[in-house]
């Protein structure tokens, strides 16, 4: 993409309405624009990152054996009356009347709808286990929408639902989700710590939230600092293997890590004092096992191998896809702007032409652009007739992890400059080496 043709409405000034750095930077980098409180348009740069995050979520869900599908955003209230949540959900639910005066609502979550689909089509244990998920817009009329995409009213969520014959199988689904989430967040360059939490309006006893540590996080968290040493890495897990998934679950949840809702001061005391941490975190996902809560209410039963009918065991599992943009920026920025982890960057590499209009410099940039594109990479070429300082400031603000700078002086010596956004380190090298280096970095992701 050539910057001269791209829609990138960067702001020079800090927007006064933004209280935290991720919100400020998303507005300044021209990624989002508020349309009303807690509701945003996703401008091209923001939309690109949203899609990258969504792609990672899809890949990791399908790796774990979960099936993508899509349910509507507008639902009839009937199923919610059946489950008892129509009244229980309270003011957060956006209720709508259609022209026939029928009660509708904008989906805040979809346990009822998926259970209705299940009961219409599945009646036997032979069709289990089954896990389906969607990535779909949700609406919750939050009393205090704030911090940009972090606490929106309209937000993008991956919501998955498992159906199993027994509690044991459903707990395996819970563990499997935990494993796949660890992998998902790490691919985005994030450390998200599973913490014992409260199940709130979704229900059930077993639930973990995934938290990214950040001073601006809305949750207070208590943990043993040893949890931050755990990494999932590139382990090869068989998602059907109950014991393997249970072992990962055990490893990542046996140290003390809880949100304030489930914090137990006496248990926390048992953590060695020098490892006790009280901090803040951003909730980027949550997994639930709630057993037969919805299957009983909605009569979703299956016949077991013994011929007996019993309500199916369920859980649901969410990832805050749009919130993740904010969380990643909170975790990865400096005073010049965003620093995208390679896994989610909107463009792989920036190209800055220091002397637009100079025949040699223009030709070198065009050649770099063509080589990177031929390797399947997406460069953003700043081909505007702007001063170098302005071009660097834009690249730093939008946070592409790598930048190739091209100028007549370097070209005389046959070199361009490759700069890391994270370390600021610049190395001169021939253009073909810079292309190879950038390609290698992404090939090894």
| 317 versus 391: smaller Cβ distance to ligand P5A | 317
Tokens 């990494």, residue located:
231
Q: Which of 22, 184, 295, 316 binds ligand P5A (CB under 6 A)?
A: 316
Closest approach of ligand P5A to the CB of residue 41, in Å: 16
Closest approach of ligand P5A to the CB of residue 263, in Å: 18
Q: Which of 30, 281, 311, 320 binds ligand P5A (CB under 6 A)?
A: 320
* Closest alpha carbon to 349 in 221, 440, 258, 252: 440
| 217 versus 431: smaller Cβ distance to ligand P5A | 217
176 in contact with ligand P5A (CB under 6 A): no
Kindly indicate which of the ranges 282-290, 364-372, 390-398, 417-425 contains the residues binding ligand P5A, using the contact rule CB under 6 A. 282-290
284 in contact with ligand P5A (CB under 6 A): yes
- CA 30, CA 398: separation in Å to the nearest integer? 9
151 in contact with ligand P5A (CB under 6 A): yes
Q: Which of 83, 107, 109, 162 binds ligand P5A (CB under 6 A)?
A: 109
Beta bridge partners of 301: 311
Helix (H, G, I), strand (E, B) or coil at 395: helix
Helix (H, G, I), strand (E, B) or coil at 163: strand
366 in contact with ligand P5A (CB under 6 A): no
Give the contact letters, 234-273, x = binds to ligand P5A (CB under 6 A), - = no: ----------------------------------------
Closest approach of ligand P5A to the CB of residue 283, in Å: 5
- CA 20, CA 148: separation in Å to the nearest integer? 9
| 133 versus 347: smaller Cβ distance to ligand P5A | 133
157 in contact with ligand P5A (CB under 6 A): yes
Convert 97-125 to b/e letters by CB count within 10 Å (16 or more is b): eeeeeeeebbbbbbbbbbbbbbbeebeeb
54 in contact with ligand P5A (CB under 6 A): no
| 178 versus 284: smaller Cβ distance to ligand P5A | 284
The alpha carbon of 193 is separated from its chain's Cα centroid by a whole number of angstroms, namely: 14
Query: Could you say which DSSP state residue 305 is in?
Result: T
Q: Cα–Cα–Cα angle for 296, 66, 177, nearest 5°?
A: 75
Closest approach of ligand P5A to the CB of residue 3, in Å: 30
Closest approach of ligand P5A to the CB of residue 131, in Å: 12
φ, ψ of residue 359 to 5 degrees: the values are -55, -45
Peptide bond connecting 129 to the previous residue in cis, omega within 30 degrees of 0: yes
* Closest alpha carbon to 192 in 263, 60, 285, 279: 285
Chain contacts with ligand P5A (rule: CB under 6 A): 109, 140, 142, 151-152, 155, 157, 159, 202, 283-286, 288, 316-318, 320, 322-323
């Amino acid at each position: 993409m050539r910057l001269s043709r791209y829609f990138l409405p960067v702001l020079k000034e800090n927007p006064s309405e933004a209280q935290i750095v991720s919100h400020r930077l998303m507005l300044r980098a021209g990624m989002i624009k508020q349309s009303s409180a807690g509701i945003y348009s996703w401008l091209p740069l923001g939309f690109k990152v949203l899609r990258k995050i969504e792609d990672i979520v899809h890949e990791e869900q399908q790796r774990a054996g979960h099936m993508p599908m899509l349910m509507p955003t507008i639902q009839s209230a009937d199923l919610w009356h059946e489950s008892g949540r129509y009244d229980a959900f309270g003011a957060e639910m956006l209720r709508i009347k259609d022209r026939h005066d029928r009660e509708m609502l904008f989906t805040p979550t979809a346990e009822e709808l998926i259970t209705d689909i299940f009961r219409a089509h599945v009646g036997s244990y032979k069709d289990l286990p089954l896990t389906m998920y969607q990535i779909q817009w949700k609406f919750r009329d939050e009393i205090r929408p704030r911090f940009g995409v972090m606490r929106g009213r309209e937000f993008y969520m991956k919501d998955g639902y498992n159906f199993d014959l027994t509690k044991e199988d459903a707990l395996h689904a819970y563990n499997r989700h935990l494993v796949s989430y660890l992998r998902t967040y790490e691919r985005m360059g994030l450390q998200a710590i599973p913490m014992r939490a409260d199940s709130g309006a979704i229900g059930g006893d077993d639930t973990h939230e995934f938290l990214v540590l950040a001073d601006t996080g809305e949750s207070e968290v208590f943990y043993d600092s040893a949890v931050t040493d755990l990494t999932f890495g590139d382990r090869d897990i068989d998602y059907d293997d109950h014991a393997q998934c249970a072992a990962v679950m055990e490893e990542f949840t046996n140290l003390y890590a809880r949100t304030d809702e489930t914090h137990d001061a006496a248990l926390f005391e048992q953590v060695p004092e020098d490892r006790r941490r009280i901090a803040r975190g951003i909730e980027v996902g949550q997994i639930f096992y709630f057993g037969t809560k919805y299957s009983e209410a909605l009569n979703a039963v299956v016949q077991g191998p013994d011929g007996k009918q019993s309500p199916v065991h369920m859980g649901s599992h969410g990832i805050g896809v749009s919130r993740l943009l904010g969380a990643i920026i909170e975790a990865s920025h400096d005073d010049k702007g965003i620093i995208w982890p390679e896994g989610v960057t909107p463009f792989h590499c920036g190209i800055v032409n220091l002397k637009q209009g100079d025949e040699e410099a223009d030709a070198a940039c065009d050649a770099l652009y063509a080589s990177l594109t031929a390797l399947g990479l997406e460069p953003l070429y700043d081909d505007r007739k702007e001063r170098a300082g302005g071009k660097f400031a834009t690249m730093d603000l939008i946070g592409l992890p790598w930048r190739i700078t091209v100028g007549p002086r370097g070209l005389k010596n046959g070199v361009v400059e490759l700069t890391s956004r994270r370390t600021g380190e610049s190395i001169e090298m021939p253009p073909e080496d810079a292309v190879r280096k950038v390609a290698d970095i992404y090939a090894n992701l």
